[in-house]
A and B are shown apart, each in its own frame.
Chain A
């Protein structure tokens, strides 16, 4: 399972765009990049998943360069309710299905 590295914490203000970068140098050919969001005392919630280039949904965008050794989660115009921990995971397509969580990035959005 590829290890991921992301900043421990980030601060932002309401209305700003937030970009959280994750490093995964040992990503395998069949691995996907997945991001989860977790609020205090709740289970993680799936945000977005991608394999290469750019993926966008109603919540976020995910940018993945050609070498796939890093990825950037982009949250447009954050609000106070986006304050949470964001986890970047590299997910394989093997039968084990294990998800190994790293330390995550604590995003604090200020008014």
Chain B
């Protein structure tokens, strides 16, 4: 299947700093990528839909000014957590949609563990 990578796999930062997470589709192009966050022992929560060449669409309750999403190319989407605080500590996962797939087939990245001190 298609491969999606994330970088970094984990990051520790101080409160108030910004952190950028990259999501890449390695062997296919993705006009649409998605960002999720997952707290311990909970399910994935969709944060936003990242569209190449246009603004991201955020889910209700997700602060767009805090979680900046840029989808500058067909293989790269970035999520920047601005002015991170300890409550932003979570597991962030991206996925990329295969345009030609049946039933909106998506492939997920390995996730990025963010810890804010």
Residues of A with Cβ closer than 8 Å to B?
31-32, 34, 36, 41-46, 49, 51, 87, 91-94, 96-104
Contact = CB atoms under 8 A, between A and B. Distances in A.
A99 B95 contact: yes
B43 A87 contact: yes
12 contacts: A31-B103, A36-B108, A41-B111, A44-B93, A45-B108, A92-B103, A92-B104, A98-B46, A99-B34, A99-B46, A99-B106, A101-B45
For the residues of A in contact with B, the DSSP-based class is loop
B63 to A, nearest CB: 19
Given A43-B109, A93-B103, A98 B93 contact: no
The dominant DSSP class at the B interface is strand
Nearest to A44: B108
Nearest to A43: B108
Those 5 A-B pairs whose CB atoms lie nearest each other, nearest first: A32-B103, A43-B108, A97-B104, A101-B44, A101-B43
Contacts of B44: 44, 101
Given A32-B102, A98-B46, 10 more contacts: A34-B103, A41-B91, A42-B110, A46-B106, A49-B103, A91-B103, A92-B103, A93-B103, A93-B104, A97-B104
Nearest to B109: A43
Interface string B36-79: 10000001111001000000000000000000000000000000
